[in-house]
């Protein structure tokens, strides 16, 4: 075994506080498995704008107690250097129901307390939105939530919020990462929580009640219709959302709630789902079965850390059909805008989400901003765009993430659940269904259909991004390109050759808008022959159209669009 690898292993084993991960590494050393050890110590689990996320296991490339301690020491050092009074303002820490989350959260608290930083630590599991709420509520310097959200059981993660209550963005991510690299070479400060004294504040029931009260009193979540007509089945998907979801629904007046008992309590093994993500096939089966049992209007789900919201809606033939994230987003957005005061009409979405919300907003004399993918961008941009006469109202992205009002500066599946139930109550009072409302919106703005395709290309295929930039298409699928956005250059080029500057961070993304209202977004990969394409088609929906006829036409247009676009890419 080479000397450098031996030194890395020795340094790690001296610091690793976990007997389990230490013994796993020692077993590889004893068996002289140099290849496995070299892979294990080949780098470090990358810290980025979503913090950390990875498989739990030994060594610096995985999620484990030493990685958590090193990461927290780096974060603590960065906070002390960059935020005034960070030590007293402190850090709020919460955690989900995964097997290692409790230990990881307590380790993080011990490191920060040892660095002289006040820690507010939840006394039990907490939904991710509560931690984001807590940063604002306590005016904390930062927040940490230990969660892997909807990833498989073997994963865990470490998510960081900045002092404004939103997820970190550049340059903080790289600045914290540099401090982590330094901390990993040093002895890590640590103090037992029992000895932390005045540096540790336990967050008990009054904190959870504070979030509950904030949702109950939020101006955007005041009821406008009779709630008794709405019934719903609910699942927490073996996560941490059930108690709060049931509570905030009842606070809002919804009493016909039927929870999936088998998925109600936190369970890090996620025994009844193959993949605890409501978007995955089969994940909603049990809640839909519960909905059918009680013939409820809705079948609702939060993901395991309750920052996402999914819903299936009863159809005319007594079946249940999932709404897409875009459909939920435009429904909640339109509902909130229909009740919002004149000074609170700012909504947001991402470049890969449907363009429909921006059209709805324009028709309702509201403003809609667009950001790169991710709530870190949606919220930080939303915060910066707020004006006294144009306050933030709502933002969403197509991956089932929604922010309702400014109680939480991150996606919040709990407040989204309440908002969606409220809009259904209003529709029921008018004798309408969700499907009626969607059809009404589509008739006004066109039937919008979105699709995402990941295309694996041959190893010898030319660089797609470079090729498209050197040979910009004048038309795609037989329709002229009206404009081409190159986010690497922050430039929009129109068909007549004129240009405009795009106010978005630089990113390797190309966006083509066509004369027929369709759009394709291309995200090339610089490291492998693969691209992601996000497609949108818009089909007129006339008064004589049924939902089915408009949908079939849109689906055929989408199939033709995808086929033609893929055929136009270089082999």
CA 14 from centre of chain: 37
Positions of E strands within 63-104: 91-95
Token pair belonging to 255: 């009493």
Q: Which residue has the tokens 């390109």?
A: 481
Nearest to 147 by CA among 103, 107, 97, 91: 97
Burial grade of 407 (CB within 10 A; 0-12, 13-18, 19 or more): buried
Token pair belonging to 406: 């400014």
Answer whether 148's CB lies under 8 Å from 266's CB.
no
Answer whether 220's CB lies under 8 Å from 420's CB.
no
Answer whether 134's CB lies under 8 Å from 96's CB.
no
Question: For 456-468, b where at least 16 C-beta lie within 10 A, e where not — what string?
Answer: ebeeebeebbeeb
For residues 382 and 369, give the distance between their C-alpha atoms in angstroms, rounded to a whole number: 8
Burial grade of 97 (CB within 10 A; 0-12, 13-18, 19 or more): buried
- 149 carries an active-site annotation: yes
For residues 310 and 327, give the distance between their C-alpha atoms in angstroms, rounded to a whole number: 11
Nearest to 424 by CA among 289, 217, 253: 253
For residues 91 and 112, give the distance between their C-alpha atoms in angstroms, rounded to a whole number: 8
Token pair belonging to 166: 């939103």
Q: Which residue has the tokens 């982590």?
A: 180
Provide the β-strand partners of residue 561. none
3-state SS class at 35: helix
Token pair belonging to 200: 């540790």
> In degrees rounded to 5, what are phi and psi of residue 366?
-115, 170
Nearest to 225 by CA among 339, 315, 337: 339
For residues 565 and 468, give the distance between their C-alpha atoms in angstroms, rounded to a whole number: 12
Q: Which residue has the tokens 């590889």?
A: 28
- Kindly list the strands in the beta sheet with 401-404, ordered across the sheet, starting from the edge strand earlier in the chain: 367-371, 346-350, 392-397, 401-404
Token pair belonging to 426: 């209003």
DSSP category for residue 86: H
Rg (alpha carbons) of the chain, rounded to whole number: 25
Q: Which residue has the tokens 């919020």?
A: 161
Q: How many CB atoms lie within 10 A of CB 561?
A: 24
The one catalytic residue in 101, 110, 149, 355 is: 149
Cα separation of the two ends of the chain: 44
Catalytic residue annotation: 149
């Amino acid at each position: 075994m080479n000397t450098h690898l031996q030194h890395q292993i020795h340094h790690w084993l001296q610091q690793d506080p976990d007997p389990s991960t230490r013994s796993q590494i020692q077993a590889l050393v004893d068996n002289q498995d140099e290849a496995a050890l070299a892979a294990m110590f080949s780098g470090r689990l990358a810290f980025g704008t979503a913090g950390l996320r990875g498989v739990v296991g030994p060594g610096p490339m995985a999620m484990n107690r030493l990685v958590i301690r090193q990461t927290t020491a780096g974060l603590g050092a960065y906070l002390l250097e960059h935020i005034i009074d960070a030590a007293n303002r402190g850090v709020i820490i919460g955690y989900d129901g995964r097997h290692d989350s409790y230990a990881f959260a307590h380790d993080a608290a011990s490191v920060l307390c040892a660095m002289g930083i006040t820690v507010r630590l939840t006394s039990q599991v907490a939904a991710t939105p509560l931690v984001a709420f807590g940063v604002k509520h306590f005016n904390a310097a930062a927040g940490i939530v230990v969660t892997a959200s909807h990833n498989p059981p073997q994963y865990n993660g470490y998510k960081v919020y900045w002092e404004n209550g939103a997820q970190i963005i550049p340059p903080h991510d790289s600045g914290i990462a540099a401090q982590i690299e330094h901390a990993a070479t040093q002895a890590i400060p640590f103090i037992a929580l029992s000895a932390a004294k005045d540096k540790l504040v336990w967050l008990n029931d009054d904190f959870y009640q504070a979030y509950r009260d904030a949702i109950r009193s939020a101006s955007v979540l005041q009821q406008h219709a009779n709630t008794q007509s709405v019934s719903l089945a609910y699942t927490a998907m073996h996560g941490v959302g059930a108690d709060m979801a049931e509570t905030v629904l009842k606070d809002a007046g919804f009493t016909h709630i039927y929870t999936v008992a088998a998925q109600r309590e936190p369970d890090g093994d996620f025994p009844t789902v193959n993949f605890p993500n409501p978007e995955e096939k089969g994940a909603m089966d049990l809640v839909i079965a519960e909905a059918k049992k009680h013939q409820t209007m809705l079948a609702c789900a939060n993901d395991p850390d309750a920052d996402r919201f999914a819903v299936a809606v009863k159809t005319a033939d007594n079946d249940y059909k999932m709404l897409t994230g875009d459909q939920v987003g435009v429904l909640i957005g339109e509902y909130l805008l229909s009740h919002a005061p004149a000074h609170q009409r700012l909504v947001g979405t991402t470049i890969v989400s449907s363009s429909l919300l921006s059209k709805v907003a324009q028709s309702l004399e509201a403003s809609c901003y667009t950001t790169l993918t991710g709530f870190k961008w949606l919220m930080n941009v939303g915060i910066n765009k707020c004006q006294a006469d144009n306050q933030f109202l709502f933002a969403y992205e197509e991956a089932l993430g929604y922010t309702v009002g400014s109680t939480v500066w991150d996606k919040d599946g709990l407040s989204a659940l309440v908002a969606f139930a409220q809009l259904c109550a209003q529709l029921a009072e008018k004798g309408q269904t969700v499907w009626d409302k969607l059809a009404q919106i589509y008739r006004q703005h066109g039937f919008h259909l979105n699709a995402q395709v990941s295309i694996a290309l041959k190893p010898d295929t030319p660089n797609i991004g470079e090729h498209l930039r050197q040979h910009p298409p004048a038309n795609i699928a037989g329709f002229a390109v009206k404009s081409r956005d190159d986010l690497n250059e922050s430039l929009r080029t129109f068909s007549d050759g004129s240009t405009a500057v795009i106010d978005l961070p630089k990113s390797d993304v190309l966006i083509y808008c066509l004369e027929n209202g369709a759009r394709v977004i291309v995200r090339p990969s610089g490291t492998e022959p693969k691209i992601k394409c996000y497609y949108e088609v818009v089909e007129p929906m006339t008064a004589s159209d049924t939902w089915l006829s408009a949908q079939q036409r849109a689906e055929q247009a989408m199939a033709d669009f995808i086929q033609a676009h893929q055929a136009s890419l270089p082999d």
